[in-house]
Amino acid sequence: IAGITQAPTSQILAAGRRMTLRCTQDMRHNAMYWYRQDLGLGLRLIHYSNTAGTTGKGEVPDGYSVSRANTDDFPLTLASAVPSQTSVYFCASSPDRGYEQYFGPGTRLTVT
Amino acid sequence: QKEVEQNSGPLSVPEGAIASLNCTYSDRGSQSFFWYRQYSGKSPELIMFIYSNGDKEDGRFTAQLNKASQYVSLLIRDSQPSDSATYLCAVNSIRSGYSTLTFGKGTMLLVSP
């Protein structure tokens, strides 16, 4: 692989279910991010990780959790999905915080 | 609240013309500035970044930065229909103790043949 991969590509999920969105990068970037993109609201940061073993809350963290056990992987978990979490989710990585970010292909999630 | 403002458009230009996309930002401490292109249904793609005042050219693209005016722009010369997309401006900001990019909501560009 080259770059960032995300899985699944799309998902329809019943409200109340738990879901993990996967993100893997092979660029050995230190920093990784999760965004959601909604029409009219743009890209909003959910959680970030400046380096393996550390994570932090972004602009809209409620209802989401992340972990960063190693450099390559940064999964995003919705513990109990709600319809307002219907969105397109993008994972991104950066050589270091504050530098250019490279985006994965996205996951389109619909919560019914 | 650190903000990045862009005209939502659409900006319509004929093929071969110069497209000018503009962005203003509120955080005077910002040091890094980025332009992304996003086709409908796709993820944002980095096309330019600029750190210093002045112009930076890459092929048909020129990024312009004026930190005193808190203004960054993207010029696309010889615009092609394939340039039709939404262009996102992003600015490095410090928010609540963390460093990240703050994105504008994007300007839609339509290039007509």
pLDDT 10s digits, B28-68: 888 899 999 999 999 999 999 999 999 999 999 999 999 99
B105/A40 Cβ within 8 A: yes
Which residues of chain A neighbour B42 with C-beta distances below 8 Å? Answer: 105-106
| B51 dihedral zone (left: phi>0; alpha: psi -120 to 50; beta) | alpha
| B25 dihedral zone (left: phi>0; alpha: psi -120 to 50; beta) | beta
What is the Cα–Cα distance from A103 to B88, expressed in whole angstroms? 13
Which residues of chain A neighbour B104 with C-beta distances below 8 Å? Answer: 42
Mean pLDDT per segment of 10 residues, for chain A of length 112 residues?
A: 90 97 96 94 93 93 97 97 98 89 97 98
**For B106, which of A42, A56, A100 is closest by C-beta distance?**
A42
Q: Which of A4, A21, A30, A101 to mutate to test binding with chain B, by most B CBs within 10 Å of its CB?
A: A101
β-pairing, B107-112 with B11-14?
Answer: parallel
What's the pLDDT at A68?
97
The answer, for B68 touching chain A at a CB cutoff of 8 Å, is no
What's the pLDDT at B29?
87
Using pLDDT thresholds of 50, 70 and 90, give the confidence band for residue B95: low
Q: With contact defined as beta carbons under 8 Å apart, do A33 and A45 qualify? A: yes
Which residues of chain A neighbour B91 with C-beta distances below 8 Å? Answer: none
Which residues of chain A neighbour B100 with C-beta distances below 8 Å? Answer: 33, 45, 48, 58, 97-98
A56/B44 Cβ within 8 A: no
Eight-state DSSP code of residue A73: B
Contacts across the A-B interface (CB distance below 8 Å): 49
Residue B40 has a CB neighbour count (10 Å cut-off) of 8
Chain centroid offset of residue A19 CA: 12
Those of residues 4-63 in B touching chain A at CB distance below 8 A are 31-32, 34, 36, 42-46, 49
What's the pLDDT at B97?
65
What's the pLDDT at B96?
65
Please provide the average confidence, as pLDDT, over all residues in chain B. 93
What does residue B81 show for φ and ψ, rounded to 5 degrees? -55, -30
